[in-house]
Amino acid sequence: MKIKEIYNLAIQMGIKADFRGEQGIRKFLDNKRKQYEKMNEKEKQEFDKEALENPYLDSRIYHIADDKDIKKVLVGVDIEPAEVLMAKEIGDIDLIIGHHPIGKGLAHLADVMDLQSDVLNFYGVPINIAEGLMKERIDEVARGVNSKNHQRTVDAAKLLKMNLMNSHTPCDNLAAKFLKDLIEQRKPERIGELIDLLKEVPEYKEAMKIGAGPKIFVGNPENRCGKIALTEITGGTEGSPKLYAKMAQAGIGTLIGMHISEEHKKEAENSNINVVIAGHMSSDSLGVNLFLDELEKQGIEIIPCSGLTRVSRTG
Ligand SMILES: [Fe+2]
């Protein structure tokens, strides 16, 4: 496979697993196009045209040094210059694939957060409330990533002539869909049962060995789960802390997330919402693995690094 084919596969898989459905994505892109068409020439020139085709601007190809057939990839959760050097040291790595966004993918992280409004709406939060509260938070995230050294890893890849891309939200969508299906199939009643169910997933089982397995952050094992929502697995990064009260009103009883800040945790507690934290690197690994399985099926060799626990589900 060529880099562009690998990249397009990630985007297509992300769309298929997206909470909004393929039609929802089409509407999202149509809306972007309408905004673009209304722009004046100067605005059009400054506009990132990829936004018209790609619903996941936090996932990009950053550098193509050699557009060869890809046989071996180095894949990690966070790709920094150290990983680029590692790829060089290993020697025959054709492409480095990261999970978390870097470069212009990081600069556009806030763009994918719109997805969370739709996910919240799917779980019963009125769309006006979800959009209103997310808007504040999206602006905050957009300002927050502004201070980052965006191009550091991309510069390293250019200097060392390494191919580099990442897939963030497409993979997080795969993890969210996997967990949603698992929960709908097994319907855990109490928080303890939910934790036990998560612990059956190999990525979480591995994480437990280093003390990073699924944990209850709010609630106790005896609590009833009520409606379990996966509002915090995909869609960029954490939403607004003001959303928990609205989620409780919408009838959500338990949230499963990858990670949670203290401020968010307190708000969930105040709203009597149980919070189960599945784990960050392990949840990211789950989503990335579901994508990598498709590369493995194409005969591509995968070398995991930087927090990725590789589990293959191809056999
Ligand atoms: Fe992550």
pLDDT confidence of residue 207: 97
Helices (H) and strands (E) in the chain, counts: 14, 9
Q: What is the pLDDT of residues 193-244, one digit of tens each?
A: 999 999 999 999 999 999 999 999 999 999 999 999 998 899 888 888 999 9
pTM: 0.96
Rounded CA-CA distance 214/66 in Å is 41
* 187 CA → ligand 1 middle, Å: 26
The answer on pLDDT for 47 being more than 90 is: yes
Rounded CA-CA distance 197/176 in Å is 15
231-260 mean pLDDT: 92
Q: What is the pLDDT of residues 108-126, one digit of tens each?
A: 988 889 899 999 999 999 9
* 27 CA → ligand 1 middle, Å: 26
* 281 CA → ligand 1 middle, Å: 7
293-313 mean pLDDT: 98
CB 198 within 8 A of CB 278: yes
* 39 CA → ligand 1 middle, Å: 34
* 280 CA → ligand 1 middle, Å: 6
* 102 CA → ligand 1 middle, Å: 12
pLDDT confidence of residue 237: 86
pLDDT confidence of residue 238: 85
DSSP 306: T
pLDDT confidence of residue 239: 86
Tokens of 34: 């309408």
* 41 CA → ligand 1 middle, Å: 37
Helix (H, G, I), strand (E, B) or coil at 144: helix
Pick from 169, 213, 180, 202: nearest CA to 309: 202
Rounded CA-CA distance 167/77 in Å is 10
pLDDT above 90 covers a percentage of the chain that reads 93
CB 93 within 8 A of CB 74: yes
pLDDT confidence of residue 68: 98
* 283 CA → ligand 1 middle, Å: 8
pLDDT confidence of residue 232: 87
Pick from 266, 284, 283: nearest CA to 275: 266
The answer on pLDDT for 5 being more than 90 is: yes
